[in-house]
């Protein structure tokens, strides 16, 4: 995590997602399926939902399933049960992913104080994975 960012394990970014989602990027499929010991197809069907269907310009965009407002993988003590193969978004965020989103967690105080860098460029690189010039088949 970026300098100045401290996770207190409050669970907010996993438990109170509200309208936020955990996007599954194309490069998430292989490590996550391997982590669960299932095929990428099984992982996709069992643990993800469609956020946006595919278009002529963009691959289908999927997100982790939620139960109420919580990620299905958050534990009762606010830990991540898929730690070690969690999605890129979770590896980066919230300090280095969607730092400009509407979601604002208490730990992002450091960003308010100018300690966290602008994430726009890395977010853009991730989102480029969904466009059809990417030859990754899912
Ligand atoms: S909201 Fe911030 S402090 Fe709380 S669990 Fe998420 S990263 Fe950690
Ligand atoms: S995958 Fe893990 S880190 Fe990501 S939202 Fe779910 S519980 Fe939190």
Convert the pLDDT of each residue in 72-107 to its tens digit: 999 999 999 999 999 998 888 776 665 445 566 777
Question: Measured between alpha carbons, how far apart are the two ends of the chain, in Å?
Answer: 29
Distance 135 CA to ligand 2 centre (A): 27
Ligand found nearest the CA of 14: 2
Q: What is the number of the ligand 1 atom nearest to the C-alpha of 95?
A: 7
Q: Whose CA is nearest to atom 7 of ligand 1?
A: 7
At residue 106's C-alpha, the angle toward residues 105 and 109, to 5°, is: 105
Structural domain boundaries in the chain: 12-130
Q: What is the pTM of this model?
A: 0.83
Collapsing DSSP to helix, strand or coil, 71 comes out as strand
pLDDT digits (tens, 9 = 90+) for 12-37: 889 988 888 889 999 999 999 999 99
Q: Look at residue 110 in the predicted model and tell me its pLDDT.
A: 59
Higher pLDDT pick, 76 / 138: 76
Average pLDDT value for the chain: 82
pLDDT at 42: 98
């Amino acid at each position: 995590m970026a300098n100045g960012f401290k996770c207190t394990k409050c669970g907010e970014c996993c438990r109170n997602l509200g309208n936020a989602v955990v996007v599954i990027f194309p490069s998430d499929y292989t490590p996550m399926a391997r982590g669960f010991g299932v095929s990428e197809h099984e992982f996709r069907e069992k643990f993800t939902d469609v956020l946006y269907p595919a278009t002529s310009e963009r691959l289908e965009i999927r997100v982790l399933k939620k139960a109420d407002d919580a990620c299905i993988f958050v534990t009762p003590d606010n830990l991540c049960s898929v730690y070690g193969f969690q999605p890129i978004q979770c590896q980066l965020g919230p300090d280095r992913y969607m730092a400009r989103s509407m979601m604002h967690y208490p730990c992002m105080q450091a960003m308010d104080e100018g300690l966290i860098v602008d994430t726009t460029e890395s977010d853009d690189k991730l989102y480029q994975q969904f466009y059809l010039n990417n030859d990754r088949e899912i």
